[in-house]
């Protein structure tokens, strides 16, 4: 009963905030115009079977890096986040959720980025598919000034990370802009947060139930 109440609350909040922004992908989601992405058979999934539901307009692109199973973008809605699904496999991950914290993961992610980074928030009290989720939000600013380029790139990443067996699954929502305007990035994240939450709640690790 409680989970159903939380679901209804999420839906109401989602309708009140996102729809007012006239978001195409939000309307698609509420109208059931979705697609299901499966990791089954994909080399970068490293043997893990999982699925997640996304708005139908999101376009799939192969990830360039070894751990990125897929990237999804919708260029016709510039404010919409880029979605990346990452899977890592390491024997050291077994049981790590009992030791690591969301803040630990945030600090590691920040250290791996180029430029100035700031951890905006971190929490580990979310559960999806029966697993603890480590949610982190990181702001990254990179300054570029050369004879050819004179611009600044600012990136706000909201990342949901969970561990199962020797896998780490990460779903990242990235907002980027070629200007320094933290307020604007945070506004974009807040506007899409209900949709991001709804997407995350469709994640199923099918390998877990086989």
Residues in Cβ contact with 40 at an 8 Å cutoff, skipping those fewer than 6 apart: 49, 51, 206
> Can you tell me the distance from the alpha carbon of 93 to that of 100, in angstroms, rounded to the nearest whole number?
10
Model pLDDT, residue 3: 54
**pLDDT for 48 beyond 90:** yes
pLDDT tens-digit series, residues 173-190: 999 988 888 899 999 999
Q: Does domain 2-209 have CATH number 3.10.250.10?
A: no
pLDDT tens-digit series, residues 134-163: 999 999 988 765 444 456 788 999 999 999
**pLDDT for 40 beyond 90:** yes
Mean pLDDT of the chain: 86
CA 109 → CA 32, 106, 137, 155, distances in Å?
34, 5, 10, 13
**Is pLDDT larger for residue 16 or for residue 79?**
79
| Residue for token pair 């990452």 | 86
Domain residue extents for the chain: 2-209
């Amino acid at each position: 009963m409680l989970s159903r109440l939380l679901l209804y609350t999420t839906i109401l909040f989602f309708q009140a905030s996102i729809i007012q922004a006239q978001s195409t992908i939000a309307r698609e989601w509420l109208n059931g115009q979705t697609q299901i992405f499966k990791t089954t058979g994909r080399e970068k999934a490293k043997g893990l079977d999982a699925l997640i539901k996304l708005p139908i307009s999101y376009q799939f692109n192969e990830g360039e890096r070894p751990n990125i199973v897929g990237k999804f973008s919708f260029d016709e809605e510039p404010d919409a986040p880029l979605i990346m699904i990452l899977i890592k496999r390491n024997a050291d991950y077994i049981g790590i959720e009992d030791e690591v914290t969301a803040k630990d993961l945030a600090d590691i992610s920040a250290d791996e980025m180029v430029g100035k980074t700031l951890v905006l928030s971190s929490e580990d009290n979310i559960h999806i598919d029966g697993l603890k989720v480590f949610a982190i939000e990181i702001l990254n600013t990179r300054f570029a000034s050369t004879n050819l380029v004179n611009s600044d790139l600012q990136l706000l990443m909201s990342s949901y990370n969970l561990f199962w067996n020797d896998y780490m699954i990460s779903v990242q929502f990235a907002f980027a802009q070629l200007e320094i305007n933290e307020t604007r990035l945070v506004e974009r994240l807040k506007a899409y947060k209900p949709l991001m939450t709804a997407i995350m709640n469709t994640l199923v690790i099918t390998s877990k139930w086989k």
